[in-house]
Amino acid sequence: MGDGICEIAIDGLPSVARQAPPRIDPVNQLDEDGQMVAIPEEPYSIKRWQVFCIIFVILGAFGGVVYFIVLPIKSYKPPSVLKPKPGDPSRPFTDATPEIPKEYPWEQQRIPNDLQPYEYRLTLRLDVTKHVYSGSLVINLRCYHPTEYIILDIQDVRISDNLVSVIDLSTGKIQPVADTFQVSDRRTRYIISVADKLRVGSIYRANITTFTGRVTAEPPGLYTAMHRARRGRDRRMIVSGLKPTGARHVFPCMDDPAMKATFDVIIEHPSDQTALTSSPSESTTTLPNGWVRETFYRTSKLSTHLLGFALFEGMTELERFSSRGQVVRVWSAFDPTSSPAAEVALNTTLDAISNIKDLLGLDYLLQKTDVLPVPGQIVPYDVYSGLLMVRDTLLFCDVDDSSIRDQLQCAMALNHAVAHYWFGISVTAAWWSDLWVTEALSTELAYESLACHFPELSMDPIQLVESVLPAFLYDGHSETRSLNSEAWTETLDGSEKIVMSGKGLTILKMVRSIVYDSSYMRAKKTILASYGTINTSQLWDTLSQATDSFVNVSLVMNNWVSNAGYPYVTLRQTVEDNGARRIYIIQEPFSYFLTSRSTLHWNIPVAYKTKEQSDARVLWLNDSVKNISDDSPMGEWVLGKVDSNGFYRVNYGPGNWKLLSDQLLTNHTVFDVSTRASLIDDAFNLARASRLLIPTALDLTRYLDKEDDYVPWKAALRALHYLLTVLSKSQSYNSLKAYISNKVVVAMRRYKIQEDVIRRRLLYSELFEAACRYGDTNARKTAIELFRKWRTRRQRIDPDIRKSVLQEGIASGGQSEWNFVWRKYNSSSTTSPQDRQLFLTVLASSQQDYILYRYLGWTKDGFNIRREDVPLVFRSMADTVAGRELAWKFVFGNWRELQQRFADTPSIQEEILRSVSSQMTSGYELKQLRQLKELIDIPRLRRILERAEEQTDLHIRWLAGNEKYVSDWLGETDV
């Protein structure tokens, strides 16, 4: 193996290619304010305006003389200066912007490391009733290279003119400011140009007296959310969304994750509102206007995106101190002292801190941790130093009144948020293309901690079905990006976070399998002890060093993060002319679209085994094709991915697929649960991509009535649900539903509603939901009767099947049943965010078009359904056969109104379009998609519809080639 090559970082920063800024010689002239101005040298040439000036002089116009003298001073500014007019510093610059030469330092993607911030002093004046805020800022900087520019990131923040100053703290002298200006080409920067170059080794203070900004309806920056307070009142709160590049939307800063600094924060706010930030409150001063000035302790060194803010009213906290005197507080809109859910959230957070500290042998050093519920569907959690913002539906789970699935999701969200302290805050991604490193390491750590919460569960299979298989799904589409893509600077939505966590987690498992556990753990501890920021190259190098350079990790693993997507491997057994038997192993890039052409290849550790082998062998597939001797007995299966320990799919020849299917029927426990789930998931997704015949995939499900584990069932039902969606208008639809229902019912007979073992609770919940969904008469009767007793006698429904029961009650009923659940949703006594989300979801299960259409209409009025909950309504509607087509018709006919209603929340527009357009299967729907796309001029929204077009076209072509195969298979199978 060759040696890996990586750039060496200085002071935690990767080296930046820098070019010298334009040379500016001082000229002894004064501007209108009596300040020295710097004028760039230019070769003398006669320009058109000079000719006009000469003409004016010849005519004897005194004004022309003044014009001739003043204009050079005003015109020789650095190119592309977007300097606002005095008195209106925020006015957008509308004149044509000249192209900025590339040598200007503010045009580099990253701010040059000539100056490094080491301390921010930030004051914000916030009020939850206002949509604007103001602030002031002081930045202390160290100078490492001579420069005349202080360059700051800024976006949608307005800086008042002539209120910027620079002081040389080394000498105490004021550093004259020659100019301030803003540039907006590929990114927006605010530049403070000083008259004399800043000197290496000196420290400087940049002071911005006043800036203003807006509180928006969604991230990035400071945004609002509405939480349901006691007595059913909706209360407004302000929270921050700063990852990846949202800090520049709040205050001017050097918004680079590698530029860490301390923060002294002051928040001025009304006295009846509560302010939180990353550090504890130090003191409060009452102001004359009824406000308070709250000063917070200095933070440790942080990247800008790790400084969190929140302001709210109507919440109270439940707190507890650790043995080290550290306080953890959980906030809630209801009385936390009377709610078991708040107590569970607090205990889970404390347990996560303790578990991870013990796993790593490293302390949790934050003196306070606030856990804040944030309503809506925007993010599952947002992590700041000392401030964890968790979606309210993922925070509050009652052990006695929440389903086991909800409990697992809540625990995972809190464990993942806490794990970010070690990988994310203590060790931060050096740049956004390295974000996958800390995201994957924190996900791995969260699952290890979750295993301590639920010791009876094996976490490897759980993480496969909950994190890895969804990542496969999203990463197989045409617009996927590599893990180290620079595009992470721009956005990080839900599906992208799934890919980053699940794919990154699997890559770490692959690394762990080649460097062994002891070296891997040693490398993780080295990272935590030695790095403040880390990039991908440093991760690989540290892992290699942990093996004493026995393995060059970069050489074998780098293409897993630099290549977009992932491969699939085909194992084919052949007999040569001389009678020798060989296995050919072929790799190709995987895509759901046959039109995709790629020459990418990966270094794949193919872990394969045969029926007669007790242990797997690992073959490194570095080329497109390799072949090995086949020493397995004739007629025995070969398995191409053992323990699902690799981010690749596996295909086989028809004979081997049949052998694997027969093995499942004969004795499925020969394969572990992860392998069974992966076999099913690979087969159906290869068939979806037209790389495998669908009957081959369906054959793997014949054993399911014998399956007694949640993980393979979850993978199978997910794949079969997608197949039913595509076949929803075909003649095979009802027969396939009946086949699935029969398999589910046979398996479900072995269990009872109230299981006491977690894995059985998970399985029964999954099976009961499937039995109701796919039309089993007995399951539906049971659900309808339980719904009736809940409605008339207030009889409790077991939480593991509550969703299914409510869905069946709504689906089988009419207006009366629907209205009853709607009233429960609006009831002031309903304090559980999970219940509110559940009620909104099941209300979409009605089979009455007029009820559903009215429900959809309420998403437009801004009164009945909160803005944050609108995406959930459309997702729930699109998940049912009756609601799917109706939701699309509603969006198609009301798009202008919806676009106007959610003009300030583009993410809601995106979620609506994504929900209703992703499951279409007809040429007529494809035509409508194209018609709607013509009405939209926003690039992100058009891309969603373009992907939906691509997906719909795939469905149409797939149905044309496979529907008959499904029908024939069902005809030959005992349904």
pLDDT tens sequence across 728-740? 999 999 999 999 9
Radius of gyration of the chain (CA): 31
The span from the CA of 773 to the CA of 741, in Å, is 9
Q: What is the enclosing helix (H) or strand (E) of 243?
A: none
Q: pLDDT at residue 951 above 50?
A: yes
* Mean pLDDT, rounded, of the chain: 86
pTM above 0.75, yes or no: yes
| pLDDT tens-place string over residues 810-846 | 999 999 999 999 999 988 665 678 888 999 999 999 9
Q: If we measure between CA atoms, which residue out of 542, 574, 579, 573 comes closest to residue 557?
A: 542
pLDDT at 33: 35
| pLDDT tens-place string over residues 401-453 | 899 999 999 999 999 999 999 999 999 999 999 999 999 999 999 999 999 99
Strands (E), 185-308: 188-198, 203-214, 221-228, 234-241, 262-270, 274-277, 281-286, 291-296
> When comparing pLDDT for 126 and 83, which is higher?
126
| pLDDT tens-place string over residues 260-294 | 999 999 999 999 999 999 999 999 999 988 999 99
Q: pLDDT at residue 204 above 60?
A: yes
pLDDT at 186: 63
Q: pLDDT at residue 606 above 50?
A: yes
Q: pLDDT at residue 77 above 60?
A: no
The pLDDT > 70 percentage for the chain reads: 87
Q: Are 753 and 767 in contact (CB under 8 A)?
A: no
Q: Are 214 and 251 in contact (CB under 8 A)?
A: no
- The amino acid at residue 657 is W
pLDDT mean over 25-46:
34
Following DSSP, what letter does each residue of 503-540 receive, concatenated? HHHHHHHHHHHHH-HHHHHHHHHHHHHH-SEE-HHHHH
The span from the CA of 610 to the CA of 613, in Å, is 5
pLDDT at 322: 83
The span from the CA of 140 to the CA of 607, in Å, is 54
Q: If we measure between CA atoms, which residue out of 926, 840, 878 comes closest to residue 376?
A: 840
pLDDT at 576: 80
Q: pLDDT at residue 50 above 70?
A: no
| pLDDT tens-place string over residues 443-454 | 999 999 999 999
Pairing of strands 157-159, 567-575: unpaired
Displacement of CA 500 from its chain's centroid (Å): 8
Q: Which of 168-177, 348-357, 577-586, 922-931 has the lowest mean pLDDT?
A: 577-586
Q: pLDDT at residue 219 above 50?
A: yes
> When comparing pLDDT for 25 and 60, which is higher?
60
Dihedral angle over CA of 739, 740, 741, 742, nearest 10: 50
The span from the CA of 965 to the CA of 975, in Å, is 16
| pLDDT tens-place string over residues 531-548 | 999 999 999 999 999 998
pLDDT at 243: 85
Q: Which of 21-35, 94-108, 812-826, 882-896 has the lowest mean pLDDT?
A: 21-35
Task: List Cα–Cα distances, 624 to 595, 599, 690, in angstroms.
Answer: 19, 9, 20
Q: What is the enclosing helix (H) or strand (E) of 133?
A: strand 132-143
Q: How many CA atoms lie within 13 A of 610 on its CB side?
A: 14
Per-residue confidence at 230, pLDDT binned at 50, 70, 90? low
Phi, psi of 315 (to 5 degrees): -125, 150
Return all residues near 680 (Cβ < 8 A) that are at least 6 apart. 697, 700, 701, 712, 715, 716, 719
> When comparing pLDDT for 578 and 952, which is higher?
952
Q: If we measure between CA atoms, which residue out of 343, 321, 312 comes closest to residue 330?
A: 343
The span from the CA of 317 to the CA of 922, in Å, is 52
Q: Examine residue 220 and say whether the peptide bond preceding it is cis (omega within 30 degrees of 0).
A: yes
Displacement of CA 912 from its chain's centroid (Å): 18
| pLDDT tens-place string over residues 161-194 | 778 999 999 999 999 999 999 998 667 899 999 9
| pLDDT tens-place string over residues 924-939 | 999 999 999 998 989 9
pLDDT mean over 54-62:
41
The span from the CA of 434 to the CA of 533, in Å, is 10
Q: pLDDT at residue 132 above 90?
A: yes
Q: Which domains does the chain have, with CATH numbers?
A: 24-75 (no CATH), 105-313 (2.60.40.1730), 315-421 (1.10.390.10), 566-652 (2.60.40.1910)
Q: pLDDT at residue 51 above 90?
A: no
Phi, psi of 476 (to 5 degrees): -95, 5
Written in H, E and C, the secondary structure of 40-69 is ECCCCCCCHHHHHHHHHHHCCCHHHHHHHH
The CA-based angle 551-553-558, given to 5 degrees, is 155
Residue 13 has what DSSP assignment?
B
Phi, psi of 204 (to 5 degrees): -135, 155
Q: pLDDT at residue 487 above 90?
A: no
| pLDDT tens-place string over residues 756-773 | 889 999 999 999 999 999
| pLDDT tens-place string over residues 90-121 | 322 223 333 334 468 888 889 999 999 999 99
The span from the CA of 524 to the CA of 960, in Å, is 51
| pLDDT tens-place string over residues 701-711 | 999 999 999 99
Match 């969603």 to its residue by tokens: 944
| pLDDT tens-place string over residues 771-813 | 999 999 999 999 999 999 999 989 999 999 999 999 999 999 9
The span from the CA of 623 to the CA of 913, in Å, is 41
Kindly state the tokens that stand for 163: 């209120």
Q: Which of 125-129, 390-394, 598-602, 752-756 has the lowest mean pLDDT?
A: 752-756
Q: Which of 6-10, 576-580, 698-702, 763-767 has the lowest mean pLDDT?
A: 6-10
Helix 758-773 / helix 404-419 crossing angle, nearest 10 deg: 120
Q: Which of 624-633, 683-692, 853-862 has the lowest mean pLDDT?
A: 624-633
| pLDDT tens-place string over residues 148-161 | 999 999 999 999 87
Q: Are 718 and 701 in contact (CB under 8 A)?
A: no
The span from the CA of 213 to the CA of 124, in Å, is 10
The span from the CA of 825 to the CA of 831, in Å, is 10
What b/e string do you get for 640-660 counting C-beta neighbours within 10 Å, with b at 16 or more?
bbbbbbbbbbbbbeeebbebb
Q: What is the enclosing helix (H) or strand (E) of 304?
A: none
pLDDT mean over 743-764:
91
Q: If we measure between CA atoms, which residue out of 895, 879, 872, 873 comes closest to residue 945?
A: 895
pLDDT at 868: 87
Tell me the β-bridge partners of 607: 618
Kindly state the tokens that stand for 479: 């617009």
pLDDT at 804: 97
Strands (E), 333-467: 368-374, 381-384, 387-391, 428-429
> When comparing pLDDT for 813 and 68, which is higher?
813
Q: pLDDT at residue 336 above 90?
A: no
pLDDT at 490: 62
